[in-house]
Structure 1
Amino acid sequence: MSSSIVLINPFIVPEGKLEESIKYWESHRDFLKTQPGYISTKLHRSLETQSFLGEAKYKLINVAEWESQDAFNSAVQKMQLALNTERVEGLVGQPALYEVVRE
């Protein structure tokens, strides 16, 4: 088993704010990827096509891997001090940290 941790952060994106939300995410990603313990991150966008699944509640989902919870927490604290980016109005993230328990 991997000892790294995974951040999964689904975002509720307001109508008409998708591109602005992606740019907001990119500015945070650019900072975090310079921090010790960062491994990778990918931003996923829901498919806009109609399917039997219906419309996705979360238009964007960020999945990031970090060496440890301490490394992630330290990086986020530094980011909050360093970045002075204006939030996207109505953008709501619901982040949580996970560990792999089965592969």
Structure 2
Amino acid sequence: MKRLLITVLMIILPTTAMAQNVILINPFEVPKGQETETIVYWEAARDFLMEQPGYVSTELHQSIQPDAKFHLINIAEWESIETFKAATSKMRKELKQKPIEGMKFYPALYDVIRK
């Protein structure tokens, strides 16, 4: 029994240790005068997504430079690409609040390769 347990652990541990969360970096363009409404939308989306399987965390960043192309950038962490896709698909169907007209999103998923 002890040998079987050690064998199972040797198989499971390397894949578990190698598994890492994915990072969403989503800068978005906000129509002039719509920043407050955009943040309210982001909060509604965050509240929905944080209840979904695979959600780890999210933060909204705001530029301190007035000439920045993106004044708001969302950075989120998910357990996997699959959980992210399932959660965002569900959000598009179920979230009552809709994005602000004229908002443009540029989302992409990333792996952390250096710390």
Moved over 4 A (4+): none
**Per-residue CA distance 1:33-53 (angstroms, 9 max, x = gap):** 00011000000011146xxxx
Q: Which residue of 59, 78, 83 maps to 2:71?
A: 59
- Mark the CA change 1:2 to 1:44 in structure 2 (over 3 Å): closer, same or farther: farther
* In 2: Cα distance, 1:35 partner to 1:86 partner: 18
Q: Which has the higher helix share?
A: 2
Select the structure of larger CA radius of gyration.
Answer: 2
**Partner-residue secondary structure (3-state), 2:27:** strand
Following superposition of structure 1 onto structure 2, how do residues 38-53 of structure 1 map, counting pairs within 5 Å? 38-48=55-65
CA separation in 2, counterparts of 1:96 and 1:11? Answer: 12
TM-score, normalised on structure 1?
0.89
CA distance in 1, matches of 2:97, 2:26: 18
Residue 89 of structure 1: CA displacement?
A: 1.6
Total equivalences in the alignment: 98
Tell me, yes or no, if structure 1 residue 16 matches structure 2 residue 28: no
CA distance in 2, matches of 1:45, 1:84: 25
What is the alpha-carbon distance in structure 2 between the residues aligned to residue 75 and residue 21 of structure 1? Answer: 20
Distance 1:94 1:82 in 2: 21
Long gaps (5+) in structure 2: 1-17
* Gap regions ≥5 residues in structure 1: 50-54
